[in-house]
Chain A
Amino acid sequence: MRQTRAIELGTGLFVLLGFAALFFLTTQITNREFGLGDDGYRLTAAFEQVGGLKPGAPVSMSGVTIGRIESITYDFKEYRARVTLRIEKSFDRIPDDSDASILTAGLLGGQYLGIGPGSSETFFKDGDQIQFTQSAIVLENLISKFLFSKAAEGQPAAEPAKESTP
């Protein structure tokens, strides 16, 4: 009898420890937020270039995560990438003239969507589209632009490097 009790105790301890470890790994180590589920509202935004943005990437405002990228598809009407974002319900006062830009966290970090608040009195509702967007910066384009503008400096009547429309 004493032996069975020791076995039961040991097994109980082991199973408890195992599940505690699994629980810790799933909730504390991952970036999944439980309970977010289907709450919140959707916005869309069209971009010329999404770069390395991926579904699940954070949407942030002044560095505060307010939602996540839900999907990225290609829109053949506009010939641009269409990004759908899900914003948490509590962040329901984003001015509807806010702009969205694709930014990179650090030099090697992943890309995320930053929202800069506008000054409108009316706020975004479910299904709205963000009008002002700025595409991801592609490093190769940046370098080539820099090189061409450097080369243009040498020539007297050269046109200044044309800025792409935001």
Chain B
Amino acid sequence: MTAPVIRELVESVRGSLQTLGAYTLFAGRVARDTPRALLRFSLVIEQVYNSGALSLVITMLSGLFVGMVLGLQGFDLLERFGSEESLGSVAALGLLKELGPVITALLFAGRAGTALASELGLMRATDQLAAMEMMAVDPVRRVVVPRFLGGVISMPLLAAIFSLIGLFGAQLVGVQIMGVDPGQFWSQMRGAVEFEDVMQGALKSVVFGVACSLVAVYEGYHSVPTAEGVGRATTRTVVVSSVSVLLLDYMLTAVML
């Protein structure tokens, strides 16, 4: 009765370990080929366009609304303590250190990560990757690494845009609608935000960029070459990157605070 359960448990632990190992090896392979891919930078630029420029609209729109909600909620909360002037610093610190990097990463996983995974998965399913190998072109170097680097470059830029737009959203609600004094809003913000806070946010988004891009290219590259396999790879990309972003966020915050 218990033997099959234990066997299954051992099996699943072995499976997770194997996945972790495969991820690490794949990350090593990507890292090894990164310098060479940087030499052919036009390929990377194309991917910056695909995963960065095309995610711009959704990022900006989300940033605006997140900032506006932050303005409303922050105002409501701070008003209870009679310090609604601090709205600027609350919104800025919240956006720069937490919401900006994390929500951008989640959006990135949904918008760009899935596109990467399904593209690579379809390449696998239609034997394009195998064809490249036949022509002695390393598909990791030619296809995977530029996509990975494009994501890594795009993420901090997207997060910065998100935070900035969010800040203007918070200002829009807080100052224009709720009537916080604009001078207080900006001066309290400047007083509270340190250069290190901006850099912490940027560092976080670089780490998230590496994580999300790696997950997307790994899942796409290793997808089962069927229609179902491609679909599963896309789903796994979103799930794995979202969970790892939130996990990494906790660890990074705990280390940096």
**Interface check B25, CB cutoff 8 A:** no
Q: Is the CB of A15 within 8 A of B198?
A: no
How large, as a class, is the contact surface on chain B? 20 to 34
- Which partner residue on chain A sits nearest B167 by CB separation? A29
Q: Is the CB of A31 within 8 A of B193?
A: yes
Q: Is the CB of A29 within 8 A of B92?
A: yes
Given A26-B198, A29-B189: A8 and B45 interface contact (C-beta under 8 Å): yes
Q: Is the CB of B157 within 8 A of A29?
A: no
Q: Is the CB of B156 within 8 A of A22?
A: yes
Q: Which of A19, A29, A110 contacts B190 (CB 8 A)?
A: A29
**Interface check A139, CB cutoff 8 A:** no
CB distance from B120 to the nearest CB of A (A): 19
Given A7-B46, A7-B49: A31 and B190 interface contact (C-beta under 8 Å): yes
**Interface check A118, CB cutoff 8 A:** no
**Interface check A1, CB cutoff 8 A:** no
Q: Is the CB of A14 within 8 A of B48?
A: yes
Q: Which of A18, A26, A29, A31 contacts B161 (CB 8 A)?
A: A18
- Which partner residue on chain A sits nearest B187 by CB separation? A31
**Interface check B56, CB cutoff 8 A:** yes
Q: Is the CB of A10 within 8 A of B53?
A: yes
**Interface check A77, CB cutoff 8 A:** no
Question: What residues on A are CB-neighbors of B96 within 8 Å?
Answer: 25, 29
Q: Is the CB of B193 within 8 A of A29?
A: yes
The B interface, classified by DSSP as helix, strand, loop or mixed, is helix
How large, as a class, is the contact surface on chain A? 20 to 34
Q: How far is the CA of A24 from the CA of B163 in the complex (A)?
A: 11
- Which partner residue on chain B sits nearest A28 by CB separation? B190
Scan residues 78-105 of chain B and give those whose CB is less than 8 A from a CB of chain A: 83, 86, 92, 96
**Interface check B122, CB cutoff 8 A:** no
Q: Which of A17, A21, A31 contacts B194 (CB 8 A)?
A: A31
> Binary interface profile of A, 18-46, with partner B (CB < 8 Å = 1, else 0)?
11011011101111100000000000000
Question: What residues on A are CB-neighbors of B49 within 8 Å?
Answer: 7-8, 10-11, 14
**Interface check A142, CB cutoff 8 A:** no
A→B interface (CB under 8 Å): 7-8, 10-11, 13-15, 17-19, 21-22, 24-26, 28-32, 56, 108-110
Q: List 27 A-B contacts (CB under 8 A).
A: A7-B49, A8-B45, A10-B53, A13-B53, A14-B48, A14-B157, A17-B56, A18-B156, A18-B157, A18-B158, A22-B157, A22-B160, A22-B198, A22-B202, A24-B164, A25-B96, A25-B160, A25-B163, A26-B195, A26-B199, A28-B190, A30-B195, A30-B197, A31-B191, A108-B83, A109-B191, A110-B191
